[in-house]
Amino acid sequence: MRTLRYREALREAMIEEMERDPLVFLMGEEVGHYQGAYKVTEGMLERFGEKRVIDTPIVEEGFAGIGIGAAMVGLRPIIEFMTWNFSAVAFDQILNNAAKVRQMSGGQFNCPIVFRGPNGSAKQVGSQHSHSMEHFYATIPGLKVVAPAFPADAKGLMKASIRDNNPVVFLESETLYSVKGEVPDDLDTVPIGVANVVRQGADITLIAYSRMTHVALEAAEIAAKEGISVEVVDLRSLRPLDEETMVRSVQKTHRCIVVHEGWPYGGVGAEIVDRLQRLAFGSLDAPILRVATFDVPMPYNAELEQMCIPGAARVIAAVRRLLGK
């Protein structure tokens, strides 16, 4: 067991997969000579050379499409978006080409590609750089969507994503890159579509993913001091969703709150609420609540920004409300 930062775990996964399979390559803005805008890809150019670690101009639609075409004929691209905000200009490529080419070709062509980069809010980067894009991507059949919270899961899910024959949207977080965690020496893949109960509890279930898993754990710690036993489910994957783990937890606790970044209208949280009210209706003692980003573009001002993003205080308030405390 070693302690790695989230960014190091991602890098290690990519390096191991590129060493294992010469068809895997990495492409994106500043991934090579600059060593990565967030240093995730540091040292990879030196290790693999310019053929396999490819700096691009600022052309997200262009290099997303390049990756998709290359994947269709057998390469296994890792396409980095400097942040997922910029994937908006490549959205057509992901929606109409990556996600659909297998189905509209009657299963003749696969698109084994990983799109990756930081997602969600960072710190005071304003309304255009703070999007939680999972709510757009998780709705698209043909894609898989993962959002790990810990270094070990980041590594294992990255390896699984690179080996997957389907397009995978891999959501990281600028605020998680320096987070440290234990990573087993012999870690291979973490399966896509399997959630993890990261804290056992009896009174209420918090369902979260990516950075919000850490917020949920923080809230659970505070709640414990008030005598409330909180269970935390870290989804890890958003498509497919691990219904079984969510349902099992709710059957135990009878109460549930979904914590996620991004706007409350529709999205991943709404999807989870829909599934749980159908699959675990008899187990629920209260309506399922959601703690999400406020329904406004992200403000720049630091205090306002922190008010908009779900934090432990808002989660605790929801916990108390649901338990009538």
User: Rule CB under 8 A: which residues touch another protein?
Assistant: 25, 51, 56-57, 59, 61-75, 89, 92-93, 96-97, 101-110, 141-144, 164-166, 192-193, 239-241
**Residue 60 a catalytic site member:** yes
In the complex, minimum distance from the CB of residue 310 to another protein, in angstroms, rounded to a whole number: 25
Q: In this structure, how many other beta carbons lie within 10 angstroms of the beta carbon of residue 96?
A: 13
Annotated active-site residue in 60, 134, 231, 305: 60
Nearer to another protein, 160 or 318 (CB): 160
Nearer to another protein, 71 or 289 (CB): 71
In the complex, minimum distance from the CB of residue 291 to another protein, in angstroms, rounded to a whole number: 24
Give dist(CA 100, CA 105) in Å, integer: 8
Q: Can you read off the two tokens belonging to residue 255?
A: 């109460």
Contacts of 72 (CB under 8 A, 6+ apart): 101, 109, 110, 111
In which region does residue 9 sit, left (phi positive, over 0), alpha (psi from -120 to 50) or beta (all else)?
alpha
Nearer to another protein, 8 or 164 (CB): 164
In the complex, minimum distance from the CB of residue 60 to another protein, in angstroms, rounded to a whole number: 8
Identify the CA nearest to 83 among candidates 146, 143, 125: 125
Residue 264 burial by Cβ neighbours in a 10 Å radius (0-12, 13-18, 19+): middle
Give dist(CA 57, CA 269) in Å, integer: 35
Contact 209, 234 (CB under 8 A): yes
Q: Can you read off the two tokens belonging to residue 91?
A: 């959205």
Give dist(CA 320, CA 325) in Å, integer: 5
Nearer to another protein, 27 or 309 (CB): 27
Nearer to another protein, 106 or 282 (CB): 106
In the complex, minimum distance from the CB of residue 112 to another protein, in angstroms, rounded to a whole number: 8
**Residue 129 a catalytic site member:** yes
Annotated active-site residue in 16, 129, 243, 254: 129
In the complex, minimum distance from the CB of residue 318 to another protein, in angstroms, rounded to a whole number: 27
Contact 184, 152 (CB under 8 A): yes
Give dist(CA 60, CA 206) in Å, integer: 35
Q: What residues are annotated to the active site? A: 60, 129
